[in-house]
Amino acid sequence: MTAIEPVIEIANLTIATAGPGGVTLVDDVSLHVDAGECLGIVGESGSGKSLTLRSVLDLLPSSLVRTRGTMRFRGRRDEESRAVDPRELRGHGVSMIFQEPMSSLNPTMRIGDLIAAGPRARGVSRRDAADRALRLLGEVGVPRPEQRLRAWPHQLSGGLRQRVMIAMALSVEPVLLLCDEPTTALDATVQDQILTLVEHLRAERDMAMILVSHDLSVVSRIADRTAVMYAGRIVEQGPTRALIDDPRHPYTRGLIDSMPQLHGPPVRLKTIEGSPPTAGRLPRGCRFSPRCPLVVDACREADPPLMAIGPYRTTACLRHSAVNAGDQP
């Protein structure tokens, strides 16, 4: 734990499929977020990053169960950290922006009613909730907000729907904002606008944030710290700038190398060879070993635990010192 008490602290989170012989999908994940801080979680599809995020509000599908783990939430700065049931946090300190703005808004409700629903559930009067909805539409950059209050979701573009989603999340004045791939379905220009908006709102409101994305360039733009997930585990974690400048896990190195370069001469885009393992059919030892260019026999004997390699930095790689040296076994 850091010197500043975290807004939220998750310890040993494990998620599996329900029923006998359940398959583990998220394995012993621990993380925390301080007030005003943004934690990025990055990894390929199926890495467990979105399940980790959704577990904060107990939004897992019925086919999955949390088999292990605790969560402590502090909320406001003058509160003490306490153990909580995730369901307590919905609309009470924690809000979430989902990844599909085209399908995440209730099509039977007008935009103003969607935004006002959260405040109304907390006892805010209808008039005050409507005023808040109008103000928030303006804050998130929706043009002609008075007209948009009466609009239906299908009448808005994807970018405007995502702005409405952000307004809905802010309507309950959260201290922690969860963002699950908030720009995935948007084109590059709108994606940039949404990221700029999220950055501004976080700084303005001093919110803590967890940002999940498969795109390291998105996470590196906003996150203060980053956790890299692979096959259900965190394999590296640390301050974002340090992690990108000096990665200490081959998977992190691979993600960085596969990012398109916007400057300099054209180069062939690098890829990570192979595919992530199937849940329930993990390789022996390190889960990344079948794809790793630095693998040695010891890597196949046991899955390395996260180990400290410096201030606020951890990695689950036996050969972390060789990641940037280009060593081969």
Of 53-62, 138-147, 185-194, least confident by mean pLDDT is: 185-194
Provide the 3-class DSSP secondary structure of residue 245: helix
Residue 76: C-alpha distances to residues 35, 137, 208, 269 (Å): 9, 25, 11, 45
CA distance 152 to 306: 48
What is the per-residue pLDDT for 262?
A: 75
DSSP 17-67: ESSTTPPEEEEEEEEEE-TT-EEEEE--TTSSHHHHHHHTTT---TTEEEE
Token look-up 């960085």 returns 256
8 contacts: CB under 8 Å, gap ≥ 6 = 32, 33, 56, 71, 72, 73, 74, 94, 176, 208
What is the per-residue pLDDT for 90?
A: 72
* Residue, of 296 and 158, whose pLDDT is higher: 296
Of 63-72, 80-89, 151-160, 175-184, least confident by mean pLDDT is: 80-89
Q: How far is CA 326 from the centre of its chain?
A: 30
> Tell me: the pLDDT tens digits for 203-228?
999 899 999 999 999 999 999 999 99
CA distance 210 to 51: 13
Q: Describe the strand order of the beta sheet including 24-33 as a list of residue ranges.
A: 24-33, 8-17, 64-73, 82-83
What is the per-residue pLDDT for 327?
A: 44
Provide the token pair at 209. Answer: 């944030």
What is the per-residue pLDDT for 83?
A: 65
User: Is pLDDT above 50 for 60?
Assistant: yes
Q: How far is CA 126 from the centre of its chain?
A: 33
Indicate the pLDDT class of residue 2, thresholds 50, 70 and 90: very low
User: Is pLDDT above 50 for 294?
Assistant: yes
Closest CA to 307 of 226, 250, 234: 234
> What's the whole-model pTM score?
0.90
Ordered domains of the chain (ranges, CATH): 1-93+206-329 (3.40.50.300)
